[in-house]
Amino acid sequence: MGILEGKVAIITGAGGGLGRAHALLFAREGAQVVVNDLGGARDGTGSAASAAETVAQEIVKAGGRAVANADSVATSEGAANLVQAAVSAFGRADILVNNAGILRDKSFLKMDEAMWDSVINVHLKGTFLCSQAFVKQALAQEDTAAGARARIVNTTSVSGMMGNFGQSNYAAAKAGIYGLTRTMSIELQKHRIPVNALAPIAKTRMTEDLPMFTGVSTMTPEHVSPAALFLASHLSGDKTGHVLAVAGARMYAFKVVETQGRFKDESQGVWTAEEIAEHWDALVK
């Protein structure tokens, strides 16, 4: 018996790359899977239901249970339809993996408003909308109210945590997902719904032309999916609010930390700009 036996998992952006790897692994571990993918190009243009259908068929042929969904995560209607697809096919929703994403890279001064909005809408707004629709369904399930845990796994990135040249829209969206993950983890604790995030580095259709992946074959989606499985399963217990990063064989966590800083005792603790300049090294180390 797999560790997700009897669970219903919704995975967005699962028509390829990381999402496909997540979907195949979850299905092998017993989950019934809703494979969501709009089926567009890397920049989000176009659509084709065949992307999700191909992965769903792959799962079914291997003996698993899956349905395809091609709704857009960037609209409230699409998010609602996605959750309803799980309920219609399998009667419930237990796991949500927010993985859908697009890229429209451009340097900050050359980026236009449409590039900004499209990336923010899919990554950040999509994570918000799908999570909200999912949680409402999870709370309506009788066994969830009695103590069964629904689980959410979001997808942030190293760009979101550290920044990256040419990705102000993507980095801002992924940083927003980090903040959303932290806030959701706080607010949903009373409902016993853990919310965590992945920060993956993997060679996929989205990233394969980046210089860092030239000749690289050891940073695959399959390296990342076990971390998604862990966070989506009972093995992660009540852990919540964490960002688990995966880069090939290396796994680590991202944290936002405070420096020790300094207190000013005189002048009622009001710092002058000159004093900040003088003590800068002590404030930031």
pLDDT of residue 39: 84
Query: 219: which 2 tokens?
Result: 């940073």
The mean pLDDT of 258-272, rounded to a whole number, is 90
- pLDDT band, residue 216 (cuts 50/70/90): very low
- Rounded to whole angstroms, the Cα distance separating 194 from 281 reads 38
Packing angle between helix 113-120 and helix 168-187, nearest 10 degrees? 30
Write out pLDDT tens, residues 152-196: 999 999 999 999 999 999 999 999 999 999 999 999 999 999 999
Whether 69 shows a pLDDT value over 60: the answer reads: yes
278 is a domain residue? no
Q: 279: number of CA atoms within 13 Å, CB side?
A: 13
282 domain-assigned: no
Residue with tokens 């799980």: 86
pLDDT (0 to 100) of residue 208 = 47
Residues 108-125 as b/e (b if ≥16 CB within 10 A, e otherwise) read: eeebeeebbebbbbbbbb
For residue 283, being part of any structural domain is answered with: no
Half-sphere exposure of 277 (CA within 13 A, CB side): 3
Q: Is the pLDDT of residue 145 over 90?
A: no
- Amino acid at position 154, single letter: N
69 within domain boundaries: yes
pLDDT at 34: 98
What is the per-residue pLDDT for 203?
47
Q: Is residue 2 part of a domain?
A: no
- In the chain, the number of structural domains is 1
User: pLDDT-based confidence at 56, cuts 50/70/90?
Assistant: very high
Percent of the chain with pLDDT over 70: 90
Contacts of 149 (CB under 8 A, 6+ apart): 192, 193, 194, 234
Structural domain contains residue 271: no
Local confidence band at 143 (pLDDT 50, 70, 90 cut-offs): confident
Strand, coil or helix: 158: helix
Average pLDDT taken over every residue of the chain: 91
Concatenating the DSSP letter of every residue in 46-73 gives ---THHHHHHHHHHHHTT-EEEEE---T
> What's the rounded mean pLDDT across residues 79-102?
97
Give me the pLDDT at residue 42, please: 65
The CA distance from 255 to 161, in Å, is: 9
Of the pLDDT bands very low, low, confident and very high (cuts 50, 70, 90), residue 212 is: very low
What pLDDT does residue 132 have? Answer: 98
Given a contact cutoff of 8 angstroms between Cβ atoms, the answer to whether 74 and 126 are in contact is yes
Residues that are catalytic: 170
Name the more confident of 45 and 225. 225
Residue 95 lies in a domain: yes
Spell out a b/e string for 209-241, using b for 16 or more CB atoms within 10 Å of the CB, else e: eeeeeeeeeebbbebbbebbbbbbbeebeeebb
Cα dihedral 69, 120, 102, 73, rounded to 10, equals 0
Averaged pLDDT, 276-283: 95
CA dist., res. 261 & res. 248, Å (int)? 35
Residues with Cβ within 8 Å of residue 219, at least 6 apart in sequence: 201, 202, 203, 213, 247, 248
Mean pLDDT of 137-164: 89
Task: Answer yes or no: are the C-beta atoms of 201 and 249 closer than 8 Å.
Answer: no
Q: What is the pTM of this model?
A: 0.91
* Residues 102-123 pLDDT 10s: 999 899 999 999 999 999 999 9
Q: For position 12, which CATH number holds?
A: 3.40.50.720
* Band (217; pLDDT cuts 50, 70, 90): low
pLDDT in tens, 3-52: 999 999 999 999 999 999 999 999 999 999 999 999 877 666 665 678 99
> Is the model's pLDDT at 74 over the cut of 70?
yes
User: Does residue 60 belong to any structural domain of this protein?
Assistant: yes
**Domain of residue 69, residue span:** 8-258
The arithmetic mean of pLDDT across residues 245-270, rounded, is 91
